[in-house]
Amino acid sequence: MQQLTAQTYKDFLQQQNDIILVNTEVPATPLKAKQLVDALCHGSGFSQLAPDWGADRFQVMLVKQDIRCLLCIEWLCEAVWLEPTGTTDIQRLWQTLQAN
């Protein structure tokens, strides 16, 4: 699969129930994970807050005005997805990601 870029990130997004799947390869290194977050933020206009690293996972809160979501990368299940948080619902998050 090609790498997610700021220009093509929308092609990699797929809404599934309560999450938005990011259909790209799971980053192989912490640097690649940061590059993925940077590309997603650049393309969507979100800002990122402090990341949280675990042994087999990475999470970072993304914020755009009053819209918040959590970007999750899990190496064990080889998945990357976005979850709406707070008062943000999945439809509003999806519309915001598609608007740019």
**Domain positions in the chain:** 9-99
Q: Which helix (H) or strand (E) holds 99?
A: helix 90-99
In terms of Cβ atoms closer than 10 Å to its own Cβ (0-12, 13-18, 19+), residue 1 is exposed
pLDDT in tens, the chain (100 residues): 456 666 678 888 999 999 999 998 899 998 999 999 998 998 899 999 989 999 899 999 999 999 999 999 999 999 999 999 999 999 999 999 988 6
The answer to whether residues 19 and 82 touch, using CB atoms and an 8 Å cutoff, is yes
* Sole residue written with tokens 């220009």: 7
Name the nearest CA neighbour of 70 among 17, 12, 22: 22
Q: Which of 20, 74, 19 lies closest to 10, judged by CA?
A: 20
